[in-house]
Structure 1
């Protein structure tokens, strides 16, 4: 089950980007997944295009692991593009097809990926990580999972609920065992959580009560933005945090480690802890953005 990425049939309106500008824009994009980009420093240090392509692609793939868009079945890459005038851009590829450019902005990038997704019940992706024919439904207990992990070739489980409000799926591809721990968290939900943190931290109780009352009709984020300068909502829409948020943690192991049920259990714990930490950090980062006034 694979949906082909297509370049949108629109005329680009993005303005030419400087080298530092487009690399900073890419860094801000992957930062929404808790990824600290090394690309700007490497570019400044004179790294060649091949090295930069590798770093950009690795960082984009890690971001996809954490965004939880359900696009792990696709091959993601990022490459530098230079225009005739020497302006620099970063192309985002799915397979060998360019689907977007970083200069188009986070809202356009989110829309590009959105048409590739297949969200089902509970917001869980209906796309499998592996091709069709490999997915199995787990029975209660761990006996079936033990057999799959210790003896099976390629396989993939359907989503199963676990403690802490997370969903988990496991797969093997070749000698790699993968686990995805997912807790649905849309950018809108993440922003609302951050707005709650900001409002509840306000020391002026009268102002805080006013915002709480206003939130009954426009929500936490709407109440907070309404108290900011005119255009705060539009300013927020230009930020990648308004369109991308962490909802997954993916762990992979290879070789003998991938044939151990105990290692799988450890991966499940590590993935849940990593997801908790990433989502907490994301809320804290968003709260800082909202507290700054969105200038």
Structure 2
């Protein structure tokens, strides 16, 4: 039996049907236009400014008229001891945040998932994620009032009971511990919400079958709950590794002071001091471009390794 030849739709028909689909759902496309415009204007258009890293930028001449200098800015930043110190501190703080802070939301989500008293579970969730909405400016002020060596409430209490004051914010090791502790306190509850949302997708019949087989709560968490949220854990881990060379400005800047600059000076604060305070825009742009490239390499590498080991990744 001879089959009829396949008809090919003309390009004009395809375009007409696409246009009809857009007109039929124009409200959705209109809603999509706002976030697209935001990303184009504030994320993609500013990328053109990376050429400043390759120019002797003069604020009066502008980007186009400033002379080209090639890779001179990159050669200069790699010879700066302060830049090497900022990179070291950025990696150190991010690695410690990843090792210590990343598992905390997972553990909290597992514990909250086992609670049977609903009102207590909801109350615990609220208490845990509320600190996320407190700005680092307020957190820094609270930390100064409570943890300052000479006037902080905690050290005043320790002195009152005959103990020595602890230099939470004035000694490098204690500052790092305080930095990590405040970060976990502020963000752990918010990360817990993501894992609790992932837990809702686990089939409840698996728990019932495991309970019938005599599996303990710990066994059910290990063999059912953790594998159920494994994709979420992998994706968030890859994203965190991708941010290994990137660090927020507000947290280290607000908690820092001249006594702990050796451990608190990170890339974001260094760029602020070089680019804004010293008006060396070429150097600041070169550091930012280097930071973005290294972050992209970390992200792609983490995704590649995850796909090879777990067959899971971002894309």
Shorter-chain TM-score bucket reads: under 0.3
Higher percent of residues as strand: 1
TM-score normalised by L of structure 2: 0.23
TM-score normalised by L of structure 1: 0.24
Give 1 or 2 for the bigger CA radius of gyration: 2
Higher percent of residues as helix: 2
